[in-house]
């Protein structure tokens, strides 16, 4: 896990962050939810912090589409069994971009963020418990599901930032 997410961006890219963020915020209000809105904003901010930042040039709506598609891909947004759900075609239309442009920007975003499906760093917080990749940790040279290991090992993994919370504690809530 890479740790806490942030909306902090370089001053030179603050206006660009707000421009893209306004587009993604509106999309999330209309089609997704607050959880997606926040995670997408974190992704836009992460792209703004890259050097050089890929979002510094190009149309804001294409970047908004690409980031939303990339985060949606990590979280299976296009799977009709998920809630919320939207088709990729509807997403592209909502942002006013072609399929090729939307897919291309999404690929650039996924590469820049080094992410893909089920990436624990870009999983919606409400889905962390159900994402098996979140809980895979190397112990004594073996990759194990830390949820099935002794609490002391879970606490050590949590202290190192390898897991987002102690599984047993979450079950008590």
Per the CB < 8 A criterion, the answer to whether 24 and 61 are in contact is no
The answer as to whether 142 is a domain residue is: yes
DSSP 160: T
The answer as to whether 2 is a domain residue is: no
Measure the CA–CA gap between 78 and 73, rounded to whole angstroms: 7
The answer as to whether 95 is a domain residue is: yes
The answer as to whether 125 is a domain residue is: no
The answer as to whether 126 is a domain residue is: no
Please count the structural domains in the chain. 2
**50 and 109 share one domain:** yes
Residues 40-66 have pLDDT tens digits of: 999 999 999 999 999 999 999 999 999
Q: Mean pLDDT over residues 111-132, rounded? A: 92
Give the CATH number of the domain where residue 100 resides: 1.10.472
134 token code pair = 């979140």
Residues 12-21 have pLDDT tens digits of: 999 999 999 9
Closest by Cα among 62, 69, 56 to 28: 69
**53 and 89 share one domain:** yes
**137 and 100 share one domain:** no
**Domain enclosing residue 148, as ranges:** 131-172
pLDDT at 105: 97
The CA R_g of the chain, rounded to the nearest whole Å, is: 17
Closest by Cα among 163, 169, 157 to 134: 163
């Amino acid at each position: 896990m890479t740790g806490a997410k942030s909306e902090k961006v370089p001053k030179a890219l603050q206006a660009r962050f707000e421009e893209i963020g306004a587009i993604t915020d509106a999309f999330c209000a209309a089609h997704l939810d607050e959880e997606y809105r926040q995670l997408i904003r974190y992704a836009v901010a992460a792209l703004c912090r890259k050097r050089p930042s890929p979002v510094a040039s190009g149309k804001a709506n294409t970047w908004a589409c690409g980031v939303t598609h990339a985060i949606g891909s990590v979280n299976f947004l296009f799977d009709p069994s998920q809630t919320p759900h939207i088709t990729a075609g509807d997403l592209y239309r909502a942002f006013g971009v072609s399929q090729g442009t939307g897919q291309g920007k999404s690929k650039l975003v996924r590469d820049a963020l080094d992410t893909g499906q089920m990436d624990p760093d870009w999983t919606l917080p409400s889905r962390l418990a159900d994402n098996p990749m979140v809980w895979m940790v190397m112990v004594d040279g073996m990759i194990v599901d830390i949820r099935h290991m002794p609490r002391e090992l879970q606490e050590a993994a949590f202290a190192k930032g390898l897991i987002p919370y102690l599984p047993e504690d979450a079950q008590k809530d």
